[in-house]
Structure 1
Amino acid sequence: MLTRFAFSALLCLAALPSFAENWSIGGAIGPFVFGRFAERTVVINTETGTGKTTSRLSAATRPGAAADIERDFNDWLAVRLEAAWTQSKLRLKSSGGGTGVTIDSGRVNVTTFVVPFVVRLNRGSIRFHLMGGPAYALYNMHRRTGEGSVPLFEGTRGRWGGAGGAGVGWRWSERFGIEGQITDIVTGSPFRREDIAATNIGVHIPKPQNVHTTLGIRYRF
């Protein structure tokens, strides 16, 4: 599925006639902030009554890299094929009664592909832009073994979603420029209910909202 997705996107780009300075490539780095992958709420009965403990599975903020190829239709509209990579530690945070604890649960490698349309809002050396389009994320999970670890699946699962973002670029020459961007990517969670608990009681699988903030260089050719 991923191969067809990337191949179709490249065909859309390649099918367009290429003129000088209508193509560009970009590379950037920056922090990736992960959303919640799963939640579980457990009701605890005590001698004085009942209480609730909520556990949330996410990943720590880590630096990552992104690269893209972009094709301009005109001065204000373009299409882009972008890929991003990052590795992070999984975190299971439990809280209840005003206290909380965070447990290392393994690590996750995330590869994200986005094919957005890019709309530039102005011309000149400084250009703001908005972008949006479909996204596909590959979540590669590695369990942590040992005492206190949390049983999770190990392997790779792909999830579809969408992405939207905004950015600003400064072209210091005809071919080179600097570009900063914030991208909000929402996909399905790589986890299923049965990965978290044997029963579905108290288990919620949200769609993680991953935010990528990057700063990099764009080259036009």
Structure 2
Amino acid sequence: HFCVCCKCRSAFGKFFSAGAAVAILTATVRKTLLAIGVLILISAVGRGESWSIGAGTGPFIFGHFAERTVTVMNETGMAPSKTRLSAATRPGAVADIERDFADRWAIRLEVTWARAPLRIKSASGNQGVTLDAGHVNVTAIAAPLIFRINARRALRFELLGGPAYALYNVHRRAGGGVTAPLFEGTRGRWGGAAGAGAAWWWSPHFAVEGRVQDIVTSSPFRATDIVASGKGVHIPKPQNGHTTVGIRYRF
């Protein structure tokens, strides 16, 4: 298992295999600004009560990117030890545009983004080590279908679900002090988004809303990114959770 931060570097080196880092520029910020610009452009042409835009923020909880099982020596002999690669919980943001096509039904195009340091933790407990050697940026685009349970009340509850596409950008910080480098670059992964929310409309045009949503995609990591042979490595589908509070404006 991993211990306190004084052993952070050694834990990191055991998890990853050595390899050559490829230095490229991070494109996440540019993609995010482009996505926001698209939302603004679409909203500018949207007219009538069937169009709305929303924005919010809240904690983004990263799922598990990779798991590695190794055999270690302890007090009782040889025993398997499992560690997991994830990222620390950090605030994330979301922006969207929504189009109603019935009282209870709507379609939404949303962009979510977050940035966090990588984190390694033991599968046997919740204690983890936050690494200063790299960060992961995620930009997720989703198009969920919205079903409103009570469409005509001031307090409205909704369910949502649909396809999602996430861009994971892993960036190694120069001078991080680890001997085994991360892969650097951006990998896109398909998946889905599902969740639930509530909105309180205090006027015909403005509402405060809260949302709990899971974004599940394939992992941006491959088994050979962890060790060259891929032995003992399991690559799960990370279940990223995002809880947000924000506002919505209806045209």
Where in structure 2 are the equivalents of 1:7-22 lying within 5 Å? 20-22=48-50
Residues in 1 aligned to 2:199 and 2:130: alpha-carbon distance in whole angstroms: 40
Contact 1:175 1:219 in 2 (8 A): yes
Q: Which of 89, 93, 99 is equivalent to 1:65?
A: 93
Where in structure 2 are the equivalents of 1:115-126 lying within 5 Å? 115-122=143-150, 123-126=152-155
CA 1:48/1:165 → structure 2, altered by over 3 Å: closer, same or farther? closer
Residue 196 (structure 2) aligns with:
166
CA 1:70/1:149 → structure 2, altered by over 3 Å: closer, same or farther? farther
Q: Does 1:175 align with 2:202?
A: no
Residues in 2 aligned to 1:56 and 1:89: alpha-carbon distance in whole angstroms: 14
Query: Which protein has the bigger helix share?
Result: 2
Residues in 2 aligned to 1:175 and 1:119: alpha-carbon distance in whole angstroms: 19
Residue 232 (structure 2) aligns with:
202
Residue 26 (structure 1) aligns with:
54
The CA deviation at 1:109 is 0.8
User: Aligned pairs, how many?
Assistant: 209
* Aligned residue identity for 1:83: V
CA 1:200/1:138 → structure 2, altered by over 3 Å: closer, same or farther? same
The CA deviation at 1:41 is 0.4
Contact 1:167 1:179 in 2 (8 A): yes
Residue 109 (structure 2) aligns with:
81
Residues in 2 aligned to 1:149 and 1:20: alpha-carbon distance in whole angstroms: 58
Residues in 1 aligned to 2:126 and 2:160: alpha-carbon distance in whole angstroms: 40
Residues in 2 aligned to 1:43 and 1:215: alpha-carbon distance in whole angstroms: 44
Greater than 3 Å deviation, 4+ residue runs: 45-48, 98-101, 144-150
Q: Which of 45, 52, 58 is equivalent to 2:80?
A: 52
Contact 1:160 1:187 in 2 (8 A): yes
* Aligned residue identity for 1:23: W
1:59-112 per-position Cα deviation (integer Å, ceiling 9, x unaligned): 00000110000000011000000001111010122467x897625141011100
CA 1:173/1:152 → structure 2, altered by over 3 Å: closer, same or farther? same
Residues in 1 aligned to 2:105 and 2:47: alpha-carbon distance in whole angstroms: 15
Contact 2:117 2:130 in 1 (8 A): no
CA 1:50/1:81 → structure 2, altered by over 3 Å: closer, same or farther? same
Residue 68 (structure 2) aligns with:
40
1:184-203 per-position Cα deviation (integer Å, ceiling 9, x unaligned): 11000000010000112210
The CA deviation at 1:43 is 1.1
Q: Gaps spanning 5+ residues in structure 2: where?
A: 1-30
Contact 2:59 2:90 in 1 (8 A): yes
The CA deviation at 1:147 is 3.2
Residues in 1 aligned to 2:205 and 2:217: alpha-carbon distance in whole angstroms: 34
3-state SS in 2 of match to 1:35: coil
Where in structure 2 are the equivalents of 1:142-153 lying within 5 Å? 142-144=171-173, 145-148=175-178, 150-153=180-183
3-state SS in 2 of match to 1:194: helix
Residue identity over aligned pairs, in percent, reads 59
Q: TM-score, normalising length from structure 2? A: 0.76
The CA deviation at 1:212 is 0.5
Residues in 1 aligned to 2:185 and 2:158: alpha-carbon distance in whole angstroms: 36
* Aligned residue identity for 2:223: R
Contact 2:105 2:145 in 1 (8 A): yes
